[in-house]
Amino acid sequence: MAHAHDRREAMGRAEITPAGAFEAGSFVSFTLTYTAGIYGIDDTGSLKIVHRFASDMGRPQFDDPAAPNYVTVEASNGATLEVRYDVKQNVRPWDKTLYIKVVRGFLREGDKIVVRFGDPRGGSPGMRLQTFCEERFEFRVLVDAFATYRYQALAEQPTIAIVPGPPVTWKAVLPTLRRPGQPFALFVRGEDRWGNPSDRCDAVFTLRASRPVRGLPERVALAPGRFAARIEGLVADEPGDLFVELLDTEGRVVAASNPLRIADRERIAWWADIHGQSEETIGTNSARAYFTFARDRAFLDVTGHQGNDFQITREFWRELNELTAEFDEPGRFVALPGYEWSGNTGLGGDRNVFFAREGRPIRRSSHALVDDLSDLDTDVTTAEELFAALAGEDCLVIAHVGGRYADIRRAHDGRLERSVEIHSAWGTFEWLLEDAFALGYRVGIVCNSDGHKGRPGASHPGASMFGAYGGLTCLLAPELTRPAILDAYRRRRHYGTTGSRIVLDLRLAFDRPAELFDEDPALGPTSSRAVREAGMGDILRTADPEVTVSLDVHAPAPVERVEIRNGTETLEVFRPYREEELGARIRVLWEGAAYRGRGRETVWDGRAWLEGNAFRRLAPINFWNLDRRFARTGPDGVEWSSLTTGNVAGFDAWLEEADAGRLYIETPLVSCALPVAEIGLEDIVFEAGGLDRRLRVFRLPEENPHRRIVLERRIPLRERGDNAVYVRVTTEDGHRAWSSPVYIFR
């Protein structure tokens, strides 16, 4: 609570040099000068210079003047200062804190504290800026002038702009499933080295389609100032799969789109990322910029905003509803109103809440960061209370894992909570799906970004604790409208990916007519009908002891494996190549998490080397953070720094000799030595405790051409309980996809 004497303008002022716009992820030296106001700063008073939780700017260090991120602090009057840095020493979202305490002496009006971020005088290359763009990046200065540990923000804060770098990769994006003759669009963008869509593009590309496409121009140009190109009105008349390549002026292919399937289907595919936040809560950039990015730079069909409820004021809740109403355009883009119910883990954990229409009340888990307590009586503290409060609402709930994880063992309502989110930028959480199977819940699988960097739908993890690329969900619906999209979620007609736009078609065929239920019969009486075929999300009863599973996958990258599963049991691991096709390529992967909560990060920093052989070529997998090392140490060695948060990372190694010598691997959790000749088609697995923590080694063909997989299998059905039949697809570029299960009981 503010007091009359805490006049912000009397707390002093701060300025930063140089000012202006700077490239994301670049090294820059800044000088922030604080000039004391009329109160000065008393003995043992202090300053805080704070940055947002989401920022992945380099961590300040005070020991090595020649290294990056070296910071010095001095007082103009010679006062002695104590300086330290803590990632969580202030009120969120301004958690990251450079703390400067006056321990001997004091400051009078006009005295200065000079902070040099990336002080170049000792040879430091500068401060590594955050890796994502922000229109107004603040060095927020808070002053404790009276040594009371009550801080006052300055009236005007020093700011810079963080902008994209030049493009280093190109992306071509098509839809995934359209009907013959149905118009579609091709999107093209350039991305800088940190995954930011770049407006510094200056290129012309030739377009080459793998099948005839009416309306496709010969070339596309991206000029400076443009973040993307959108080519509308394209039509493919014949069924089949197609992709489009971008060719540079030398005729080289610089990018290939994801595959687009042209098929006469009732339901077509729409891509969604409905989980992320903006600067009004704990994210980056404005909520308006968030929706604009999703539609115009990530090329999503569906998005939603999920601010932490305990940070959403009445005014911001009103603004969010106005934005979803504005951006929701049937046929072009669907925006879902909603919020994240952010109950403490012990009270049920995080849930995403989405409404069918605007104007619905927000039921917060608390008012932790909302000062207006006039609606305190509408709070619902536990997940059980949340489900009770939403019982009469036209809404959808999704369980997810973020800072807090959803405890579906404590609370779950199948009428509202139809899906679990098993991948986001926070990691991969298949254990949440396994919890649902163990409890007999019938849920679909979604993946989203849960991004805080303002990039829904294209959520590169950057250099922060977010260990994975943000996920996407592919929804199967007849049209792009809010009712059709919500119906697809409720019927579990969707699949999730770790960010890859893959074609995934799973169907089950029955020998005799099976009973397909319109709703989950475990929730009460429902209608049903007889069918011979089922798809993702369906719930059926059959007398058949076996069922035929048909899978048709087309991926943007070669398929490494397909796993056919019944609940927690893996029925088959299919690889699209035979053992005799294996070559001199070895894959080493590490994965998993420490445990379910916030401290789930697992460090895999390590090295590998060969004895009696050498590396011909090395390629990292899922090394998103460019600050982390992956480097050769001579012809027979490699070392790396890496962490996982449930997801997977690793590398491929092409060997000089296919079967010679021994491979040694050393990490904090696993150390091993393997004869190279014993590495084959099947995984050699080293378990490492925690949540599915393990290291795996296996062999691949020198080149794998298999991007399209068509499978048909007969699988047995268990007599008792649900048969939750689904697939997990892994591609060679490190991405995964999961179909929602088909639930069958005998």
The stretches of 132-237 forming alpha helices (DSSP H) are none
- As a whole number of angstroms, the distance between CA 731 and CA 290 comes to 29
502-576+715-746 shares the fold of 269-499: no
Q: Does residue 1 carry a pLDDT above 80?
A: no
Q: How far is CA 45 from CA 32, 62, 80, 286, in A?
A: 19, 21, 12, 34
3-class DSSP state of 566? strand
Each residue's pLDDT tens digit, 460-482: 999 876 779 999 999 999 999 99
Each residue's pLDDT tens digit, 123-149: 999 999 999 999 999 999 999 999 999
Residue 467's pLDDT is 77
Q: Which CATH number fits domain 169-264: 2.60.40.1930, 3.40.50.300, 3.20.20.140, 3.40.640.10?
A: 2.60.40.1930
Residue 6's pLDDT is 56
Contact 205, 188 (CB under 8 A): yes
Q: Does residue 20 carry a pLDDT above 50?
A: yes
For the chain, percent of residues with pLDDT exceeding 90? 96
Each residue's pLDDT tens digit, 116-125: 999 999 999 9
How far out from the chain centre does Cα 688 lie? 25
Q: How confident is the model at residue 3 (pLDDT cuts 50, 70, 90)?
A: very low
Tokens 């799906």 belong to 433
Tokens of 613: 């052989």
Residue 363 backbone zone (phi > 0: left; psi -120 to 50: alpha; other: beta): beta
For 461, the enclosing helix (H) or strand (E) is: none
pTM: 0.96
Q: Does residue 5 carry a pLDDT above 50?
A: no
Instruction: Report the DSSP beta bridge partners of residue 481.
Output: none
More confident residue, 567 or 595: 567
**Beta-carbon contacts of residue 502 (< 8 Å; ≥ 6 apart):** 176, 258, 259, 474, 553, 554, 555, 556, 729, 731, 735, 737
Residue 570: burial class (beta carbons within 10 Å; 0-12, 13-18, 19+)? exposed
Tokens of 334: 């669907």
Q: How far is CA 35 from CA 94, 154, 233, 716, 738, in A?
A: 22, 11, 58, 75, 56
Each residue's pLDDT tens digit, 403-432: 899 999 999 999 999 999 999 999 999 999
Task: Report which DSSP code applies to 214.
Answer: B
Instruction: Report the DSSP beta bridge partners of residue 573.
Output: 563
Closest CA to 735 of 520, 495, 535, 443: 495
The stretches of 350-421 forming alpha helices (DSSP H) are 383-389
Residue 396's pLDDT is 97
The stretches of 279-365 forming alpha helices (DSSP H) are 287-296, 314-327
- 502-576+715-746 folds as Immunoglobulin-like (2.60.40)
Q: How far is CA 363 from CA 93, 126, 385, in A?
A: 21, 45, 10
Each residue's pLDDT tens digit, 56-104: 999 999 999 999 999 999 999 999 999 999 999 999 999 999 999 999 9
Residue spans of the domains in the chain: they are: 8-163, 169-264, 269-499, 502-576+715-746, 577-700
- 269-499 folds as TIM Barrel (3.20.20)
Contact 183, 175 (CB under 8 A): no
Residue 29's pLDDT is 98
Closest CA to 461 of 501, 499, 406, 404: 499
Q: How confident is the model at residue 575 (pLDDT cuts 50, 70, 90)?
A: very high
Each residue's pLDDT tens digit, 226-249: 999 999 999 999 999 999 999 999
Mean per-residue pLDDT for 19-47?
A: 97
Mean per-residue pLDDT for 518-532?
A: 96
Mean residue pLDDT across the chain: 96
3-class DSSP state of 122? helix
- As a whole number of angstroms, the distance between CA 660 and CA 662 comes to 7
**Beta-carbon contacts of residue 322 (< 8 Å; ≥ 6 apart):** 358
Tokens 């670049």 belong to 26
For the domain spanning 8-163, the CATH number is 2.60.40.3490
Residue 403's pLDDT is 83
Tokens of 189: 């963008």
Each residue's pLDDT tens digit, 714-727: 999 999 999 999 99
Query: Strand pairing of 736-739 and 723-731?
Result: antiparallel
Tokens 């002093």 belong to 12
Q: How far is CA 86 from CA 48, 94, 140, 353, 650, in A?
A: 11, 11, 15, 33, 30
Each residue's pLDDT tens digit, 151-164: 999 999 999 999 99
Evaluate the CA torsion angle 215, 219, 223, 226 in order and state its sign: positive
**Beta-carbon contacts of residue 700 (< 8 Å; ≥ 6 apart):** 560, 577, 582, 583, 585, 586, 587, 652, 732
Tokens of 472: 């996407």
- As a whole number of angstroms, the distance between CA 244 and CA 8 comes to 57
Residue 2's pLDDT is 44
Residue 8's pLDDT is 82
Residue 289 backbone zone (phi > 0: left; psi -120 to 50: alpha; other: beta): alpha
